Structure 1
């Protein structure tokens, strides 16, 4: 007699896909973001606190605060009460859009 195999729940599938995407990102050395509509997208997992965002970008939390106040760097953020959060997609886009091929290129922001 053949037993019916239990189907995994959506949360288990989402978690597995997130783990797979992160590992693929590490292997390729390129940030990979999940987009809204992807089966593995989960807004709660896609929001990063300012401390982690600063760590991810390699800058201080004070630098992020300065960027938020001046609005010069174009890095979007979410404010929930007093908490400052960043979408992982926005952090990845910020990194990709900050790429330069020459030191003579003008930096983005108020001086660029």
Structure 2
């Protein structure tokens, strides 16, 4: 379960930036192509934050839809999964969104 290590990195980064202050919430952006299960991430977050400055904090996850641009027909299209193939049949595509994994914001007190 790689969600555990990803979530641990998020908690570590948030605690470091909080500089001793209590963290109330963290908002992260997760692209659909990252193979991260949001429910697993939420579960890991609750376990990892126990006994830290983030205990009781809220994890808000914004999922980003996956999209790509086809160089063959010059069109943009949505990706349902990680198969990078345009409806025109071209595999010459560039992923535009869906691979994001970043902390967007956090609320401290």
Q: TM-score range by the shorter chain?
A: under 0.3
Higher relative contact order (CA 8 A, sep 6+): 2
User: In proportion to residue count, which structure has more strand?
Assistant: 2
TM-score in terms of structure 1 length = 0.23
